[in-house]
């Protein structure tokens, strides 16, 4: 009914039922209630300080808003579809509680700057939560790395055995990705945490407002510089969902490793029972469903990113109702990212790494071939030739069904008489790892430094 609409003054006929359904957002934007109320309280305080409201009016409005918040949190609040969105649901209830004074709250404000404020506060809060969850995941990876400094496994390129690395080094590579993701979430928060309040509908307001005071009360880092940009910019949401997409991409890579490693042909990892499921027909199965689902949910977050990028494409300034469609993709991505990061942290903590299987796999892939080539080069043979000689030795060893280190000195000397007894030291997998002490390499001292850096980073995140 037109007379029940807050904006119904110039409307003679009521909104069609189907249109009411179609345009309403209260069923999901109620998620923003806490930010909406915080923003309104800051707006009221600022109006009080600027002499637009009396101190008593401010007091009545803010205690009314506190009551609305309590009603929402206790479940007593009745959300009304016909009131469209979170803003008008809250304002209508405030007016029921405190009377016509409730109508003064919206002075100098539009839902356009109001929603931008609410969503910026909300995204900022979630980005800070992501940072915390990512820190827990990094801590979990760091602990497992610390336990497995001595565990060696085949490092791969092209998914083919390449050179031995420590499991610590492998896990710390993922820790680096998640540290960067946390950094990205922090960047997003910094740009999102800017107040648009005072932009009003699009052109600013005639009232003598102090947007900086609102920003300060809300703990925001600054205020808008252009009112049209303030009400129509949604890049802060897109950046956040991009960050979520990157997090999911990193998680899905780790998931893929867990899936492959848990295949008995690898047998590098035993899945904790709590993170695996059985098959209804094949009794022997233990399936890595959690890792598979996480890999699958990655697509869902990318979908949200695509939705948002498409949403803003070609939108003229300033606010357009299209923008209402920005909430659900963010909420969905946020739920997915938070759940996935949390579960991965717990799963990593419980993965049953099989160090013996990893060590055995090293012996199968000629992972020390580079060491033989380097050994020959260190004795003066040009590397190209050393590479060729080593290739022949690998071909020979393969025919014998042996590793390079299993050949006798005589067998090895068929390929070059530069080879001497000390070759066996060079061929040991431990040596191959231990010699890679350049910064960021897999050598044990380098790994220790990486773990120290990780710990310092975690402390900086507290
Ligand atoms: N529900 C709207 C949104 O999410 C709030 C702003 C509506 N503004 C308007 N003029 N209809 O974008």
Domain with CATH 1.20.200.10 in the chain: 112-153+164-206+221-360
Question: How close is the Cα of 84 to the center of ligand 1, in Å?
Answer: 9
Give the pLDDT confidence score for residue 187 in this predicted structure. Answer: 98
Distance 373 CA to ligand 1 centre (A): 67
Residue % of the chain over a pLDDT of 90: 92
- What is the rounded distance in angstroms from the CA atom of residue 322 to the CA atom of residue 341? 31
Taking residues 292-310, report their average pLDDT. Answer: 98
Domain 361-444 = CATH 1.10.40.30: yes
**Residue 65 CA, ligand 1 centroid: distance in Å:** 20
**Res. 1 pLDDT band, cuts 50 70 90:** very low
In the chain, which residues fall in CATH 1.10.275.10?
16-107
Decide: 233 in ligand 1 pocket, CB within 6 A: no
pLDDT tens sequence across 104-144: 999 999 999 999 999 999 999 999 999 999 999 999 999 99
Query: Where does CATH 1.10.40.30 sit in the chain?
Result: 361-444
Give the pLDDT confidence score for residue 9 in this predicted structure: 82
Q: Is the pLDDT of residue 285 over 90?
A: no
Per-residue pLDDT, 2: 45
231 close to ligand 1 (CB < 6 Angstrom): no
- Site to substitute for ligand 1 among 199, 324, 326, 327, most atoms within 8 A of C-beta: 324
Average pLDDT value for residue range 187-212: 98
Can you give the pLDDT at residue 277?
A: 83
pLDDT of residue 188: 98
Distances (CA, A) of 176 to 141, 313, 433: 10, 33, 20
SS3 letters across 443-455: CHHHHHHHHHHHH
Q: Is residue 232 a contact partner of residue 315, using CB atoms and an 8 Å limit?
A: yes
222, β-bridge pairs: 194
Residues labelled catalytic = 158, 279
237 within ligand 1 shell (Cβ under 6 A)? no
Residue 327 CA: nearest ligand 1 atom is 4
Q: Does 165 contact ligand 1 (Cβ within 6 A)? A: no
Structure tokens at 259: 């899936």
Phi, psi of 57 (to 5 degrees): -60, -40
Match domain 112-153+164-206+221-360 to its CATH number in 1.20.200.10, 1.10.10.10, 3.30.70.260, 3.40.640.10.
1.20.200.10
pLDDT for residue 4 = 64
To test the pocket of ligand 1, the residue of 6, 28, 32, 85 to mutate (highest count of ligand atoms within 8 Å of its CB) is: 85
Give the chain's mean pLDDT: 96
Q: Is the CB of 324 under 6 A from ligand 1?
A: yes
pTM for the predicted model, two decimal places: 0.95
Alpha-carbon distance values, 364 to 192, 216, 430, 435 (Å): 51, 62, 15, 21
| Nearest CA owner, ligand 1 atom 11 | 321
If you measure from the C-alpha of residue 22 to the centroid of ligand 1, how many angstroms do you get, rounded to a whole number?
A: 13
Ligand 1 atom 4 nearest Cα: 324
Mean pLDDT for the stretch of residues 149-170: 97
CB of residue 112 inside a 6 A radius of ligand 1: yes
- Residues contacting residue 128 through CB under 8 Å, at least 6 positions apart: 185, 189
Give me the numbers of helices (H) and strands (E) for the chain, helices first please: 19, 6
Task: Give percent of the chain above pLDDT 70.
Answer: 99
Assign 8 a pLDDT band (cuts: 50, 70, 90): confident
Topology (CATH level 3) of domain 16-107:
Fumarase C; Chain B, domain 1 (1.10.275)
pLDDT at residue 229 tops 70: yes
Please tell me if the CB atom of residue 126 comes closer than 6 angstroms to any atom of ligand 1. Answer: no
**115 pocket-lining for ligand 1 (C-beta < 6 Å):** yes
Residue pLDDT, tens place only, 241-265: 999 999 999 999 999 999 999 999 9
């Amino acid at each position: 009914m037109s007379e029940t609409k807050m904006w119904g003054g110039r409307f003679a006929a009521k909104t069609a039922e189907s249109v009411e359904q179609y345009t309403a957002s209260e069923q999901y934007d109620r998620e923003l209630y806490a930010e909406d109320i915080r923003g309104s309280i800051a707006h009221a305080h600022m109006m009080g300080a600027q002499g637009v409201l009396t101190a008593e009016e401010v007091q009545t409005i803010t205690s009314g808003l506190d009551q609305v918040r309590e009603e929402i949190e206790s479940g007593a609040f009745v959300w009304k579809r016909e009131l469209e969105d979170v803003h008008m649901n809250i304002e209508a209830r405030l007016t029921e509680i405190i009377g016509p004074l409730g109508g003064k709250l919206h002075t100098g404000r539009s839902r356009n700057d109001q929603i931008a404020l609410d969503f910026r506060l909300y995204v900022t809060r979630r980005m800070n939560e992501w940072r915390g969850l990512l820190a827990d995941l990094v801590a979990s990876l760091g602990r497992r790395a610390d336990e497995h400094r001595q565990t060696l496994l085949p490092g791969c390129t092209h998914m083919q055995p390449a050179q031995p690395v420590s499991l610590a080094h492998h896990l710390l590579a993922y820790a680096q990705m998640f540290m960067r993701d946390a950094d990205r979430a922090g960047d997003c928060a910094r740009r999102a945490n800017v107040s648009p309040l005072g932009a009003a509908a699009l052109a600013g307001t005639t009232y003598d407002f102090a947007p900086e005071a609102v920003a300060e009360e809300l703990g925001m880092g600054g205020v808008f510089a252009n009112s049209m940009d303030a009400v129509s910019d949604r890049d802060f949401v897109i950046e956040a969902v991009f960050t979520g997409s990157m997090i999911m991409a990193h998680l899905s890579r780790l998931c893929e490793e867990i899936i492959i490693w848990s295949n008995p042909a690898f047998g590098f990892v035993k899945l904790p029972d709590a993170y695996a499921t059985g098959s209804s027909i094949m009794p022997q199965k233990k399936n890595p469903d959690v890792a598979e689902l996480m890999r699958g949910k990655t697509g869902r977050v990318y979908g949200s990113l695509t939705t948002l990028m498409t949403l803003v494409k070609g939108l003229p300034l300033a606010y357009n109702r299209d923008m209402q469609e920005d909430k659900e993709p963010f909420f969905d991505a946020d739920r997915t990212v938070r759940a996935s990061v949390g579960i991965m942290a717990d799963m990593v903590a419980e993965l049953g790494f099989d160090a013996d299987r990893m060590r055995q796999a090293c012996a199968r892939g000629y992972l020390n071939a580079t060491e033989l080539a380097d050994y020959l080069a260190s004795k003066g043979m040009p590397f190209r030739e050393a590479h060729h000689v080593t290739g022949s030795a690998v071909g020979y060893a393969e025919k014998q069904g042996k590793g390079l280190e299993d050949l006798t000195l005589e067998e090895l000397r068929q390929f070059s008489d530069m080879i001497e007894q000390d070759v066996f030291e060079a061929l040991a997998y431990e040596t191959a790892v231990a010699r890679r002490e350049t910064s960021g390499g897999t050598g044990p001292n380098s790994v220790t430094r990486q773990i120290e850096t990780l710990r310092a980073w975690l402390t900086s995140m507290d």
